[in-house]
Structure 1
Amino acid sequence: MPTTNIPRGLSLGRYVAEAGSRQYAADVIHEARRSLVDYLGVTIVAAFDETVEPVRRAAAKWNASGKSRIVLGGTTTPALAALINATATHAMDYDDVHYLGAGHPGGPCWSTALAVAQHIDAPDQAALGAFITGFEIMAKLGGGGVPGVGRRLQRKGFHPTSVVGRMGAAAVTAALYGLDASQSLHALANTATTAGGLVGSFGTHGKPFHAGKAAMDGILAADLASEGHVAAIHLFELEHGWLDAFIQDRQVEVPPLDFDTGSELLRNGYKLFASCRATHASSQAAMELAEKISHSSVQSVHVKVHAGALVTAGNPDPKTPLEAKFSVAFCVAMALSGYRLAWSDFSESVFADERVTSLCKKVVVEAVEGQSPASAYVDVILDTNDVLHAKTAIILGHPDNPVSDQGLEEKFNSLVRPVLGEANAKTIIGAAWQFGEPGSLRDISQLLAGK
């Protein structure tokens, strides 16, 4: 791990404190709105998912009052609304992904921005700027690509969304509260000492809860800082800080905290499959072969993926739809069987499909060091020993192979129209595309009541 004399904490605090006066480029604002469209779609459809219901019920017991909207529900305090909503965002593993390693920023950052802004009646433009600020903080702290922070956290067993998501949410809240640089740094430092979230919980209710708890803890951290709570502000330095604790062998390349050159938001990605990102490249390749095979003639399937794919999606024999989302082998078998890996495909019925279950047993997944995380190779070996080959050079949805605005709208409509109806879906997506303009936050908040 490199060392530096530059006070990283000071840089972080100042960046958050300047959120209210910062001017954002048009392409950054547009990308924030794209992220909001995606966030709203995946959150609305999952509002009552099996992973979210226990969180809703537990939060209801607190009987907390506030003006923050629970998606398709009532209002409560910002921390609880963000807890529930961000859990829903991540429930189907269908939410956005930062391809340089910071995890899934939309859930913690948008849930926090909306909940806090609703509660304090913040201007729409302030909510937009706070989201962008939180996203940049989360992405800078968790970025760096394969040798960087987020990917190394995963190798060590920690979920980046949970770890740096808290920091993103704290930055969003501090920006909306108008905290100064010192207070903002204390808010971030509070999240550093409470960060956690284990990869071992993937395939259970614990993974989406990571996003919800990150949002909740970020708000709490900023609330404490606003009241004068003093935290260990040295935790963001590269000696004896949070990274030393999480990555104790120091085998990590920490990217600089350079907020002046380029926006991390422009490197955001969007999912077209409702499963762990690590399954996407191989599933996309397998879909090319679905119509070319007869399942009875398949001898074996050989898949080559980036080594990190088996850290998060290496389950060879999932037993539940949620576990299936974290299995390269099962997702490839689904894709070869004609499934599009939509959210509705991950149900108990897929386990009754013998095409999928029999193929899954024939899939061998090889992790290849140095292979791009956005790529995959799939070979289907037939009984005749003929080989059908397909590859994904760059996953669709990656910033280097982006989903169009129209593609995001199609995803949104497929998720929201069945829940809210065509007219309401049209209104809410229209407000999302104009978010930051006066009245957009109000329109979204009203429709999220689901009444």
Structure 2
Amino acid sequence: MSNTGFTARLAQWIAQAPRNWQADAMDQAQRAIADTIGCIIAGVDDEAVRRVRAGLGRWGGGGEASQAGTAGGVDAPWAALLNGTSAHALDFDDVLDPAASHVSAVMVPALLALGEQMDASGADLVDAYIVGVEVQECLAEAVNMTHYSRGWHTTLTLGAPSAAAACARLLRLDAQQSCHAMSIATSMAAGFKRQFGTNTKPLHAGLGAKNGILAAQMAAAGVTADPAIFEGERGFLDLMAGDGAAGFGSVLQRLDGPPAIVSPGVWLKRYPCCASTHRVVDAVIGMMQANGLAVADIVGIDTQVSEPAVRNLMYVQPRDEMQARFSMAYCVAAAALDKDLRLATFRRTAMDRSDIADFIPRVAMSPDPAQPGDMPSTTRSWATTTLHMGDGRSFTRKVVDPKGYPGNPLSEQELEAKFRDCASAQAADVAASYADWRGIASTAKIRPLCAGLRTLAKEV
């Protein structure tokens, strides 16, 4: 690579990387895209999505992109905004762990909307998705976990510029335009983790998707931006991460290795709640099943998780469904009682259960001093959970790779079952579309497939 700065060198790769990805990269990308479509379907009538749809009102009508649950076409940025919000509404969407972000809830809606507008092929969409994930991984390795621990919601702060990179790739912009696209997107990248548990948290994914499209289209139209926005003085690293971050010195070496969609890979979630709970939930269910433990005999559950996880899980006694997804106590209580967490777990009827309310005080969470907030993004987190029994026994389990994590992936059968569960309240043909989304790279034109999102029932 040339001796130009990080932003320019990354843009050069975006424009020039070969499009002949290895088979496992194509497969993993298609798994993630199908999983995200399931999450869009499941979230179509969530409260946050209904409110965003109402807020958009009549803006953008008559376009060529499909907005979930909207009969007619809309302009691409508005389709991406709503579909991104829907993808992230139930917190069932995937995670790029080094970024601590919901990468596909931003990337897939952006590319679907822009790709439908362009009448792109499935193969071009998958190619752009792989590029976008790679860009986000490069940014994450440079700024995390310092950036994330400062309170930035990386789904938007890293999501917008990486979606812009993916859209630039889909538009086949040159290196200079791709550089401008990412740089423009940084001026639309914010998002505070204080929004967790509110409607604005899933809206962050929609904003990232919309902003990625806008930034790439502006760059295509000739709008210019600073060419060293990530590494320069008063740039992204300087303002939003600071001296504790690794920086960009050696990050681009990863471009010579396996693509990020393969290594480290994305985490396709098993449970529809904050990823910070999943290791503990797996531990509780696993120990109860392995030892034949009855929930009535558990007098306490102690868990140690990373410092960022403690900060993410800010609700002990959740007041609504969104807060429940960010409550370790609620998720663990429901998991202990039901041996699973389902979409139904985070509906009002479940939250009103007296047995869950009675169990919540038995759950304690504390930060693990071995996992500070400024750990390098490439260091994997873990959770250590102990069950205390009424007869004096205790059981402890440490979980590093929860179910769905790249090291412990969902099987093909589990992935399809998740999609069908997400589509269970829709017409039969929606669930049947799984095979088409799973093999989207072989689709000559994505418009007919995307149009299926318009038929989703909004009152489910």
CA positional deviation for 1:403: 1.4
Count of matched residue positions in the alignment of Structure 1 and Structure 2? 440
Unmatched 5+ stretches in structure 1: none
Contact 2:40-2:87 at 8 Å conserved across structures = yes
CA positional deviation for 1:306: 2.2
Query: Are residues 1:446 and 2:442 paired?
Result: no
Give the structure 2 partner of residue 412 of structure 1: 419
| Aligned mates of 2:193, 2:126 — CA distance in 1 | 31
Query: Are residues 1:225 and 2:230 paired?
Result: no
Give the structure 2 partner of residue 7 of structure 1: 5
Contact 2:84-2:105 at 8 Å conserved across structures = yes
Superposed CA deviations along residues 99-132 of structure 1, whole A, max 9, x for unmatched, are: 2225111111111111111112223322221121
Contact 2:316-2:329 at 8 Å conserved across structures = yes
- Deviates most, 59-68 or 188-197: 59-68
Give the structure 2 partner of residue 304 of structure 1: 304
| Aligned mates of 1:150, 1:322 — CA distance in 2 | 26
Q: SS of 2:256's equivalent?
A: coil
Give the structure 1 partner of residue 376 of structure 2: none
| Aligned mates of 1:398, 1:295 — CA distance in 2 | 27
CA positional deviation for 1:397: 1.1
Relative distance call for 1:403 and 1:440 in structure 2 (3 A) is farther
Relative distance call for 1:62 and 1:442 in structure 2 (3 A) is closer
Among 437, 446, 453, the residue aligned to 1:432: 437
Which residue type is aligned with residue 101 of structure 2? Answer: G
- Deviates most, 230-239 or 98-107: 230-239
| Aligned mates of 2:171, 2:100 — CA distance in 1 | 24
Which residue type is aligned with residue 272 of structure 2? Answer: A
Among 242, 252, 257, the residue aligned to 2:252: 257
Contact 1:165-1:215 at 8 Å conserved across structures = yes
| Aligned mates of 1:43, 1:150 — CA distance in 2 | 28
Superposed CA deviations along residues 123-151 of structure 1, whole A, max 9, x for unmatched, are: 33222211211121122212x3xxx6243
- Deviates most, 88-97 or 431-440: 431-440
CA positional deviation for 1:395: 0.7
Relative distance call for 1:296 and 1:35 in structure 2 (3 A) is closer
| Aligned mates of 2:3, 2:369 — CA distance in 1 | 33
| Aligned mates of 2:128, 2:397 — CA distance in 1 | 42
Give the structure 2 partner of residue 315 of structure 1: 315
Superposed CA deviations along residues 161-197 of structure 1, whole A, max 9, x for unmatched, are: 1101001211122122221111111110011122100
Relative distance call for 1:257 and 1:77 in structure 2 (3 A) is same
Give the structure 1 partner of residue 24 of structure 2: 27
Q: SS of 2:385's equivalent?
A: strand
Q: SS of 1:56's equivalent?
A: helix
Which residue type is aligned with residue 15 of structure 2? Answer: A
Give the structure 1 partner of residue 384 of structure 2: 377
**Aligned runs of 1:174-253 on 2, under 5 Å?**
174-237=168-231, 239-248=233-242, 250-253=243-246
CA positional deviation for 1:81: 0.3
Superposed CA deviations along residues 209-249 of structure 1, whole A, max 9, x for unmatched, are: 0000001111111121112111122212254321110123x
Contact 1:290-1:335 at 8 Å conserved across structures = no
- Deviates most, 391-400 or 291-300: 291-300
**Aligned runs of 1:18-97 on 2, under 5 Å?**
18=16, 21-73=18-70, 74-97=72-95
Which residue type is aligned with residue 73 of structure 2? Answer: T
Contact 1:45-1:416 at 8 Å conserved across structures = yes
Superposed CA deviations along residues 390-421 of structure 1, whole A, max 9, x for unmatched, are: 44242111111111222211111111243131
| Aligned mates of 1:429, 1:443 — CA distance in 2 | 14
Contact 1:82-1:111 at 8 Å conserved across structures = yes
Which residue type is aligned with residue 110 of structure 1? Answer: V
Query: Are residues 1:343 and 2:338 paired?
Result: no
| Aligned mates of 1:393, 1:186 — CA distance in 2 | 39
| Aligned mates of 1:401, 1:274 — CA distance in 2 | 17
Superposed CA deviations along residues 282-311 of structure 1, whole A, max 9, x for unmatched, are: 011111345655555443221122222112
Contact 1:308-1:373 at 8 Å conserved across structures = no
TM-score (norm. length: structure 2) = 0.90
Query: Are residues 1:124 and 2:118 paired?
Result: no
Give the structure 2 partner of residue 388 of structure 1: 395
| Aligned mates of 1:441, 1:418 — CA distance in 2 | 24
| Aligned mates of 2:363, 2:188 — CA distance in 1 | 40
Give the structure 1 partner of residue 328 of structure 2: 328
| Aligned mates of 1:365, 1:238 — CA distance in 2 | 39
| Aligned mates of 2:387, 2:220 — CA distance in 1 | 58
CA positional deviation for 1:374: 4.6
Among 260, 280, 283, the residue aligned to 1:282: 280
| Aligned mates of 2:420, 2:294 — CA distance in 1 | 34
| Aligned mates of 2:362, 2:294 — CA distance in 1 | 14
CA positional deviation for 1:375: 2.8
Unmatched 5+ stretches in structure 2: 372-378
| Aligned mates of 2:277, 2:380 — CA distance in 1 | 10
Relative distance call for 1:328 and 1:440 in structure 2 (3 A) is farther
Contact 1:150-1:160 at 8 Å conserved across structures = no
Which residue type is aligned with residue 341 of structure 2? Answer: L
Superposed CA deviations along residues 34-66 of structure 1, whole A, max 9, x for unmatched, are: 011101111111112111011112223314331
Identity in percent: 28
Relative distance call for 1:158 and 1:240 in structure 2 (3 A) is same
Which residue type is aligned with residue 340 of structure 2? Answer: R
Relative distance call for 1:285 and 1:238 in structure 2 (3 A) is farther
Q: SS of 2:47's equivalent?
A: coil
CA positional deviation for 1:257: 2.2
| Aligned mates of 1:381, 1:438 — CA distance in 2 | 53
